[in-house]
Amino acid sequence: MIEGFGGLNLWVPLDKELVEKIQQLGAHNKQLKCIVQKNLKPGDVANGKASKKRPFDFCKCFKRLILLRFYYLGWDYQGFAAQEDSVDTIAEKPQNYNRCGRTDKGVSAFHQVISLDVRSKFPPEEQLLDENVAAELDYCAMLNRVLPEEIRCLAWMPMVNPSYSARFDCRSRTYRYFFPRGNLNISAMEEAARHMLGSHDFRNLCKMDVGNGVVNFVRSIEEICIRPSQADTTDDRSYDMMYLQLRGKAFLWHQVRCIMAVLLLVGQGKETPAIVQELLDVEKNPCKPQYSMASDVPLNLYECQFNEKSGEPSDRKTDDKSDLREWIYKEDNLSRTISELQTLWTKHSVKTTMIREMLATLHGVFQENFGAARSISNQADSLTQGVRSKEYCPLLQRQRCESLENRIEHYSKKRRIEVSAKSIESNAARTDGSGPSTQTVGST
């Protein structure tokens, strides 16, 4: 129906492509409105009305650097970092801060940490006094009052060194990927995972972000293991929940999800544990086979550990004591957060229990009618994204992605990155995984 045509509402048959185009334009228009709203300052005209909100003058306040610890369930969000075309992110509007880890669309965090300057009730020389730390603004409670239920601030930490960074002074990041046991061969998955310990070139186990200047794909995994998380209430172990745990200083774009995708193939018996060694041998296999990543929903940033002293130079002298202090929790805030999380758990757990009861009944019906010889344990299959073919094609026989060297050349020609010829040669020649290359890369 077309409205407003000479004061009439007319029914007109519309072409399918035209309808899709109108919908696309509508979505784009909504994104533009979001960008405008984000960039409006107090006093600007929005929706034809002038804002009466007085601007907050941050310069008139005392400031202090803190670490802020919080969690979020990222299933319904577009990632942690702010994006130009969406406000549906964890960090909708970036401020003067550093984040410990950048999580992608759908990924959660149990232990995310940011460092940022906040206003304080006390002058800088008095901020670290015990009585003033205890009487400081309740940052977590202030934030939680305006955050959605899936995001909660848990604690804050006063900082001594003004150059301390949640990003650059983080010494390790631990990720967990939860999955059901199903019919997976856990022993084979563990054997495959052990090949990834230490420093390797993970270009075949990540999504290469060459366009943003990433040309070195050597990373070190300090720990990788598979552990049980929660046992099923019945004797059917296929419903047990497991998790893959990885710890390292830094990870590549989609590295954990690509690793999990390959481990699932090993667990399903479609690949042998040796496939990991083949993928890590970038001299033998310089181009990544095409395969789908594992789902984003089960992945979370589980824990972050920090250096005692900042690696950045400080503008003031400090003693040999640690730059870190104890996390400051408030009883009321923590108890309220636990209650809210219990409410969220109850909603999801009730649904899970109902489905589990239905499955138990249907399993019984299946066995009565078709015998108990064949069991159905495909719980983990849905974690692999993409279309499943009827006949499985081994990874090393699949079509390959473009090589790293070709991608570097492509973006260099477009002047997206600047890489010296010497660094490209050294990157191609280095296959022992001994450490980062000497490339000089500058994003433009």
In this structure, is the dihedral angle defined by the CA atoms of residues 384, 389, 393 and 396, taken in order, positive or negative?
negative
Task: Determine how many CB atoms are found less than 10 A away from the CB of residue 247.
Answer: 19
pLDDT of 149 > 90? The answer is: no
pLDDT digits (tens, 9 = 90+) for 356-395: 999 989 988 888 888 766 778 888 888 987 777 888 999 9
Q: Own/partner pairs for 26-33, CB < 8 Å, 24+ apart?
A: 31/85, 31/86
pLDDT band at residue 245 using 50, 70 and 90 as cut-offs: very high
Question: Are 100 and 109 in contact, with CB atoms under 8 Å apart?
Answer: no
pLDDT band at residue 291 using 50, 70 and 90 as cut-offs: very high
pLDDT of 154 > 60? The answer is: yes
In this structure, is the dihedral angle defined by the CA atoms of residues 30, 36, 41 and 47, taken in order, positive or negative?
negative
Catalytic residues: 104
Number of helices (H), then strands (E), belonging to the chain: the values are 9, 15
Please give the average per-residue pLDDT across 300-322, as a whole number. 75
Residue holding tokens 């000497």? 438
pLDDT digits (tens, 9 = 90+) for 11-38: 445 556 666 666 667 766 766 666 666 5
More confident residue, 420 or 306: 306
The amino acid at residue 443 is: S
pLDDT of 71 > 70? The answer is: yes
pLDDT band at residue 432 using 50, 70 and 90 as cut-offs: very low
Nearest to 385 by CA among 205, 288, 265: 265
pLDDT band at residue 236 using 50, 70 and 90 as cut-offs: confident
- pLDDT for the residue numbered 419: 62
Domains identified in the chain and CATH numbers? 59-169+321-329 (3.30.70.580), 181-304 (3.30.70.660)
More confident residue, 108 or 49: 108
pLDDT of 319 > 90? The answer is: no
216: left (phi over 0), alpha (psi -120 to 50) or beta: beta
CA angle 117, 58, 144 (to 5 degrees): 60
Q: How far apart are the first and last CA of the chain?
A: 47
pLDDT of 282 > 70? The answer is: yes
Please give the average per-residue pLDDT across 100-129, as a whole number. 89
pLDDT digits (tens, 9 = 90+) for 182-202: 999 999 999 999 999 999 999
- pLDDT for the residue numbered 351: 95
- pLDDT for the residue numbered 173: 95
- pLDDT for the residue numbered 436: 33
**What percentage of residues in the chain have a pLDDT greater than 70?**
74
Token pair, residue 279, equals 């993928």
- pLDDT for the residue numbered 61: 84
- pLDDT for the residue numbered 82: 52
> Distance between CA atoms of 147 and 160, rounded to whole angstroms?
28
Pairing of strands 299-306, 108-120: parallel
> Distance between CA atoms of 174 and 172, rounded to whole angstroms?
7
Question: Are 164 and 313 in contact, with CB atoms under 8 Å apart?
Answer: no
Measured in whole angstroms, how far is the alpha carbon of residue 287 from the centre of its chain? 25
pLDDT digits (tens, 9 = 90+) for 398-407: 999 998 888 8
Most confident of 127-136, 314-323, 425-434: 127-136
Please give the average per-residue pLDDT across 299-323, as a whole number. 76
Token pair, residue 400, equals 């390959």
Residue holding tokens 């899970």? 352
Nearest to 117 by CA among 159, 153, 89, 151: 159
Report which DSSP code applies to 396.
Answer: G
